[in-house]
Structure 1
Amino acid sequence: MQHKVNQYLFKQVDNSALVLFRICFGLLLAVEAFGSIATGMVRRQFVEPDFTFTFIGFEFLEPLPGDGMYILFSIMGVAGLMVMVGYRYRVAMLFYAITWTYVYLLQKSSYNNHCYLLMLLNYIMVFLPAHRSASIDAIRKPELRKEHMPRLIYVFIITLIWIVYAYASVAKFYPDWLDGSFPRYLMSIRGKEWSLLQESWTHEAIKYFGLFFDLLIVPFLLWKRTRWVAVTASVFFHIFNSVVFKIGIFPYLALSFLIFFFSVEKIHQWFLWKKTFYDKGEVIVPKYRNWILGISGIFLFIMFLLPLRHWTIKGDVFWTEEGHRLSWRMMLRSRNGSATYTTLDKNTGQRSIVNLKDHVSRKQLGAVQSKPDFMWQLAQRLKKEAAAEGKDIAVFINARVGINGRRPSQFTDPEIDIAATEWKYWEHAEWILPSPGYDREENRKK
């Protein structure tokens, strides 16, 4: 059995696909960093707000002072270009991985699963030998040059891609997607510039295409007979997302994954014909075989299990948000709400209504009125600020939240001091009231 595993996973194949992906990936990293400055994202997310909502547990992270965040993103852009040309590849890739993790954990007001995927890919690429050919490093150090890599790299990357797409499809098997109401609502707010996207047949097409694309794209790419159909569908799907939803580099990152589904001969012939082609098919078992297989297997197993964690938490994840992040639950819901924050001075008994605009930016305002982790964090911050003034306060939140265009329903228990509660990633917060349900059409806004 071990012999067969070695024969399959450690058989050497031409590394043109990985090399080409490195070039594309590095370019996209640079575009993401420089684009964040050019589009004002750095200013809106890190410079203008008085504070950022970090991932819970990382409250010690702070934006760099002054022009620090602009400088950081500029250096990240340079690092991306270094990855692209393969100059001091591992140093540049590790730097980008660490700084992107910092940026990712520092603010979640603009969270999406794509940012999480990019963070994972950054660290994966640190360990992959993507710089051994068609790179400045290989020119500077000829002993580094290799034209091959183990098949294990293909298996690992394709498996990760399959997990992402599979969970994105599974998550769509819920009433609002299956009855077409969420695609209709989504197009009404994100695609309102195009009358075509307001047609009922368009909503039906989006419903079925989105569902089956995520479910079947990897199998169709793997099967030679359906590969070009899948490639055409991928180009349409991701360009549509780029134009309508304006989600930065991520549709193009997804398109770059197509590289790994074509034969190594085709990738070499189409893109890297000047590179020496490897076709010896040697089996080279590395010294640390067991460690490599063990770490790779554990990582993929965690990726498989993590999106399932919401099933262990009481309540509907669409309502509570508990277990939503890091789970490839993409383009599934839209939240809106209103909330009144009231503080109670435990010493004087005085109650005060908090003016949220005095504490958060306009971008953050929607989140602190509709998302529970933001509510909890703001309550903790209000308590901390009061403590600095020598006051001991309780914080009560009376919030109503609507999902996917429904009329808002009571979301929080207004009698619970949320500032006195603990946040638990793996348990339900009892101050979040039960879901009003998703199948009541009378509860939907007209």
Structure 2
Amino acid sequence: MKERLFAPIDNAPLALFRIFLGFLVACESFGAILTGWVKGNFITPKFTFSFIGMEWLQPLPGSGMYWYFIIMGTFGLLFMVGYKYRFTIAAYTLMWSGVYFMQKTSYNNHYYLLVLICLMMCFLPAHRYASIDAKQNPEIRSLTMPAWCSWVMILQVSIVYFYATVAKFYPDWLNGTFTRNLFYGTVTNPTLRNIMTQEWFYLFIAYAGIAFDMLVVPLLLFKRTRTWAFVASLIFHIFNSITLQIGIFPFFALSFAVFFYPPDTIRKIFFRKKPVAEVLSYTPEAKNIFYWFFVPFLIIQFLLPLRHHFIKGDVLWTEEGHRLSWRMMLRTRNGNTDFTVIDKATKQQVFYNIFTELTPKQRAGMGTRPDMIWQTAQRIKQHFAKEGKDVAVYAHTRVSINGAPYKDLIDSNVDLAAVPWDYFWHSEWVLLY
């Protein structure tokens, strides 16, 4: 096993993946500007809901975030062609991580996956072939890489699909409630919506989703089923791209297929002029990177999605432990939150206009998520502290999951401005059912 992990293989898959990744992140960066995503999430809001503990991470003033995304897209193009690869991939990773941690209003799991993959790419020798670096510095040029360079990518994507499968085994997915609601809310064409909201269709999609997530990796690993699995992946992700409009993610997911095919196959299809790789030995540094970075990294990635099982309550309702757990496209949350603000000195209610402080999108996201509700309460407290007032903040929240009856999410008798955020366990002011 050890010999197979460190055996030299053709590095065509890694070089090709670098090219795909650079192109996709450049499209994501420039597209975010052109579609108005940057404006809606970073320019228009007065502030962003950063990850708790990172409230200091806020957008650049004025048009700064436009330049931020332009620079990110440029870094994507630079590491795509392999120019100053180590610097440009690391710089992009740092900047995209900033985007990820800076805002939760438009949270998507593939934003997190992109952080992880780019971090992994910082430690992989993806610039040793088909790159400007290799052309300018022939000493780093290589036709091979250790086999583990492919396996770490396969393991990471396996973790994603495994937990995505497990998460779907809950009633509203198994009876088609979520897929029916999803199509009803996202498909605008009346004829298509009529078809896609019929029971036979939304149940087929629900169980096809489970089957795909469960089987795609095993089927890609075996030669006899690999091409069929890739065709199924193509259909699945293109369908998602058209119906859900989730940016680069479908194409990002498809790009991992290069690691499942034999390296020689990738070389023959995409790098026809590439010489056949010679068998070479690898330096101890390559093994050190594998043992000291990738092994701990992958162990952490396997354990992180388990944490919500150790937190009291159903994560579907409480959201505690939802992020970083690959609970992708599982539920719709509807509801709203109103705040009562009491001046502790006078015991009188004071007015706080949340409509002028939050954008409609921020209000919609905050209205059903405990962490964002708590953060809003803290901002309200800070707002009145500047006026010399010490206030108590109470939240009145009604939430519906997947169209179910509305229920209270937050204990309205708890002063949210006075309670700390619990990073690891259940917050008692989040009601359980």
- In the alignment, which of 83, 87, 92 is matched to residue 87 of structure 1? 83
TM-score by structure 1 length?
0.94
- In the alignment, which of 53, 58, 66 is matched to residue 49 of structure 2? 53
Instruction: Give the superposition deviation at 1:354.
Output: 3.7
3-state SS of paired residue (2:284): coil
Q: 1:40-439, aligned counterparts within 5 Å?
A: 40-193=36-189, 194=192, 195-278=194-277, 280-287=278-285, 289-290=287-288, 292-352=290-350, 354-435=352-433
Instruction: Give the superposition deviation at 1:180.
Output: 1.3
CA contact (8 A) 2:123 2:289 kept: no
CA contact (8 A) 1:192 1:198 kept: no
| Residues 103-134 of structure 1: CA deviation (Å, up to 9, x unaligned) | 11111100011000001111111111111111
3-state SS of paired residue (2:417): helix
CA contact (8 A) 1:184 1:198 kept: yes
- The alignment covers a number of residue pairs equal to 430
Q: What CA distance in whole angstroms lies between the structure 1 residues aligned with 2:283 and 2:134?
A: 23
Instruction: Give the superposition deviation at 1:292.
Output: 2.7
Query: Which amino acid is the alignment partner of residue 113 of structure 2?
Result: L
Q: What CA distance in whole angstroms lies between the structure 2 residues aligned with 1:356 and 1:386?
A: 13
CA contact (8 A) 2:105 2:366 kept: no
TM-score by structure 2 length?
0.97
Q: What CA distance in whole angstroms lies between the structure 2 residues aligned with 1:291 and 1:153?
A: 10
Query: Which amino acid is the alignment partner of residue 105 of structure 1?
Result: F
Instruction: Give the superposition deviation at 1:275.
Output: 1.6
3-state SS of paired residue (1:398): strand
Structure 1: gaps (5+ residues): 436-446
Match of 1:444 in 2: none
| Residues 10-48 of structure 1: CA deviation (Å, up to 9, x unaligned) | 100000000000011000011011001100111110000
3-state SS of paired residue (1:420): coil
RMSD: 1.2
| Residues 235-271 of structure 1: CA deviation (Å, up to 9, x unaligned) | 0111111111111111100010111111111101111
Instruction: Give the superposition deviation at 1:286.
Output: 1.9
Query: Which amino acid is the alignment partner of residue 176 of structure 2?
Result: G
Q: What CA distance in whole angstroms lies between the structure 2 residues aligned with 1:252 and 1:29?
A: 11
Structure 2: gaps (5+ residues): none
Match of 1:13 in 2: 9
Query: Which amino acid is the alignment partner of residue 127 of structure 1?
Result: F
Q: Percent identity?
A: 49
Structure 1 segments, 4+ long, off by >3 Å, are 280-283, 352-355
Query: Which amino acid is the alignment partner of residue 203 of structure 2?
Result: E
Tell which deviates more after alignment, 322-331 or 241-250.
Answer: 241-250
Q: What CA distance in whole angstroms lies between the structure 2 residues aligned with 1:139 and 1:152?
A: 25
| Residues 390-441 of structure 1: CA deviation (Å, up to 9, x unaligned) | 0000000011100011121111111100111111121111111112xxxxxx
